[in-house]
Structures are given as structure tokens and as C-alpha cells.
Amino acid sequence: MRITNLKIGLRLALGFGILLILTMIVGITAIIEMQNLASDTTKIHRHSSAVGNAVRDIRADIIAMHRSMKDVALSKDLGQITMAAAIVEQYEQNVYKSFELVSQRFLGEKSDVKIAHQAFVDWKKIREEVIHLMEKGEKDKAAEITKKKGAKHVEEMVTKIQVMIDFANNQANLFFDKTQHNSHWGISMMIILLTVSLIMSVIIAVIITFSIITPLTQIVEKIRNVAKGDLSQEGEIYRNDEIGELARSIYSMTATLANVVIQTNRIAEGDYKADIAPRSKKDQLGIALQKMTTKLRHISIENQNQNWLKTGQTDLNTAMRGDLDIITLTRKIITYVATYLKVQVGTLYLYDEKDKKLRLAASYAFQHRKKINNIFNLGEGLVGQAALEQQIISIT
């Protein structure tokens, strides 16, 4: 099916439909990529950040416990032993809480967590033995166990915990690399989709515009030729849309005018029976000629207005094309509109959803003055009232 056989409304609907589909594809792709980035960020937080910090806390608390156990071995009385042992128990509770979090979120081998946890549990027997010896007054034995057996066990625990720390760091790097890859891929996809959307938009706009402007130009040229007296039927437009209907109407009108010319020539030759000058209200031929002339004039003016409007819309769309920021875009819009309408001064206000105000975004030949406000509320002044009513306010 040729595009010229489609109604203009359907043509525009198809064009906007395609653009809407492309926009939805870009939007859905953006949402998916944002969800992927959010998922990667959550993984980084839940594992790399939370687990890494928890494992480091375990190592720090174990070292602090070992230091406190040295304080137990160096205690001079039962009160100092009790105080140092209480500090050890406090650190111990913190370690168990950290192990609980690590057990839930650790993505590596769970056996590594269990081995480190079991080593920490086994350390309790050594600590209790040291405290028991200190309470019995056997300080030398307690110190010996702390320095040798206890220190060796702590060193082994730290080694096991370092395995988990290394895994958490590696996972952090992997998650970061994956996030970077997804981010770059998402940006590339968005650029490709936006480029395709832009190209498709331009192609669709050009096709629809030329499918309307080209035949309209031919019709306008035909009308001008008729106005000059050329009533030939050359270059007919064969279309099934509104423009085709308009063209057929014009050709029919031209044929009628040709018949009138024939009758006029007959009058010039002396056939006064075909006089086209209206002689009374019942003179159908004269009245038909007058109506036809009026209709031609009306159609010509209407087409000129349509061409003027469509030309302005097309040129405005051309001026708005490209990746423009809001300041450049508004300046181009108001400059083109003011120039095209041949007005002396022009201003363009944008509505700010946050503070519900109209702000001056761009102007044409407008001089800023201290007493003139550039910000309006809805309903304030002519600018605010026009925006509130969404109607043109004309001042004469």
C-alpha cells in the first residue's frame, strides 16, 4: 500500500506510533539497565562491603581479645583478672555477631567460615585454661600458654580469617568490574537506540512532510495557473487521501471554468444567450460563476495559509532539531517565532513544577528592567492569566 493512499490523519498516527514504540524501547532498556546496576550495587553492599567489614571486625576483635588475654596473664590480683576477662567476653560477643552476618552473606565456600568459626570456638578452651591458672595463682604456666599455645592459635585463626578477607576483596573487584561493564554496555545501547530513534524520527518526518507538501505545492501551482487563465488539465494528482480529494475538486472546478470560458467565447462571438453576467437572482449561470470565483479565492487563501502554517512548523522543527540544552532550545524557539510572525518583542516562559511559577526562559528584543518582573504565578498579570486559561490574550 502506497503512503499516498493513506489518510493524512492515519499517516500522522502511524508516524507518532512508531516514534512512541521507539521511545518505549529506549525507556524499557534504560529501566532494565538501571535494575541491573541496582542489583550489582546491592551485591557489592551486601557482600563486598558488609561481609568485608564484618570479617575485618572479627580479625580486629580477636587481636583485641588476645591482647586482653595478655592483660589477664599479667594481672596482679583477682580483680584485675575479672576485669580483663570481662573485656574478653565483650569482644567475644562481638565476634559471634560478626560471624553470624558472615555466615548469612558470605558467597564463597561456607566451609571456610565454619573452619574459622570452629577455630574461634576452640580458642575458648585455651582462654579458660589461662584464666583458671591465673585464679589458682599459677601465673608462669598461664603466661607460658598465652605466649605459645594461645599466640599460635590466634595466628592460625587470623590466617583462616585472611582467606575470607581475600575472597571478599576479590568479590568486590569482580562486582566492580561487572558493574563497570554493565554500565558501559548500557550507555552504548542507549546511544545506539537514541541514534536509531533520531534517524527514524527524521526519516518519518521527512516522508510525511514531503507526502503532504509536494502535492500541496502542485495544487497551489495549479490554482495559480487557473488564476492566470490556464485551464489545462495536465499533471493530475492521483491520490486517495484528503489532498487527492482536494485535487479532484480543483480539477472539477477547472472544468467548470472551462465551460464558462466556452460560453464566454460564444458570447464574444455574439451568442448572447450564454451571457454569464448575473441579471437577476434567478440567473443560475452568473450566480454559479460568482460562487465559483469566490470559492477559488477562498481555496487559494486557505491553501496559502496552510502552506504558511506548515512552512512555519517545518522550519521551527528544523530549528529545534539536535541535542540542545533548554536555554539554547528556548532561545531558538522564541527567535524563530518572533521573526516568522514579524513581531517587535517576544518572550518565552517555562512553568516550574517545583515552585509553581512561570519563569522567563528566553526573549527576543526584550530589555530587562528592574520594575518588570520575570517570574509570574499562575493568574498573575497577562502572562500568568494566559498560562492559567491556556488561551491567547490579544491586546489591541
**DSSP conformation class of 4:** G
Please check the confidence at residue 279 and state whether its pLDDT lies above 60. Answer: no
Tell me, yes or no, whether 45 and 83 share the same domain. yes
Geometric angle at alpha carbon 217, from 213 and 221, rounded to 5° = 175
In a domain, 29, yes or no: yes
Q: In the prediction, which pLDDT does 335 show? A: 92
In a domain, 216, yes or no: no
3-state helix, strand, coil in the chain (%, to 5): 75, 5, 20
- Nearest-angstrom CA–CA distance, 76 and 90: 21
Query: Regarding predicted confidence, which is higher, 105 or 268?
Result: 105
Q: In the prediction, which pLDDT does 311 show? A: 92
pLDDT digits (tens, 9 = 90+) for 32-58: 766 665 665 555 545 556 777 888 888
Domain hosting residue 171, numbered range: 3-200
Q: What is the mean pLDDT of residues 340-344?
A: 90
Please check the confidence at residue 376 and state whether its pLDDT lies above 60. Answer: yes
CATH number, domain with residue 343: 3.30.450.40
Q: How confident is the model at residue 270 (pLDDT cuts 50, 70, 90)?
A: very low
Q: How confident is the model at residue 191 (pLDDT cuts 50, 70, 90)?
A: confident
Greatest CA span in the chain, whole angstroms?
151
Tell me, yes or no, whether 194 and 247 share the same domain. no
Phi, psi of 395 (to 5 degrees): -110, 125
Q: In the prediction, which pLDDT does 263 show? A: 61
Q: Is 136 exposed, middle or buried (0-12, 13-18, 19+ CB in 10 A)?
A: exposed
Query: Regarding predicted confidence, which is higher, 63 or 23?
Result: 63
Q: What's the predicted TM-score (pTM) here?
A: 0.37
DSSP structure string for 13-62: HHHHHHHHHHHHHHHHHHHHHHHHHHHHHHHIIIIIIHHHHHHHHHHHHH
Q: What is the mean pLDDT of residues 102-126?
A: 82
**Which domain-ending residue is among 254, 287, 320?**
320
Tally of CB atoms within 10 A around 255: 12
Q: How confident is the model at residue 357 (pLDDT cuts 50, 70, 90)?
A: very high
Q: Which residue, 262, 266, 254, 265, is CA-closest to 230?
A: 254
Q: How confident is the model at residue 271 (pLDDT cuts 50, 70, 90)?
A: very low
Most confident of 121-130, 184-193, 252-261: 121-130
Q: How many domains does the chain have?
A: 3
Please check the confidence at residue 245 and state whether its pLDDT lies above 60. Answer: yes
Please check the confidence at residue 310 and state whether its pLDDT lies above 90. Answer: yes
pLDDT digits (tens, 9 = 90+) for 56-93: 888 888 888 888 888 887 888 888 888 888 888 888 88
Tell me, yes or no, whether 151 and 53 share the same domain. yes
Tell me, yes or no, whether 192 and 245 share the same domain. no
In a domain, 222, yes or no: no
Most confident of 61-70, 116-125, 381-390: 381-390
Tell me, yes or no, whether 270 and 183 share the same domain. no
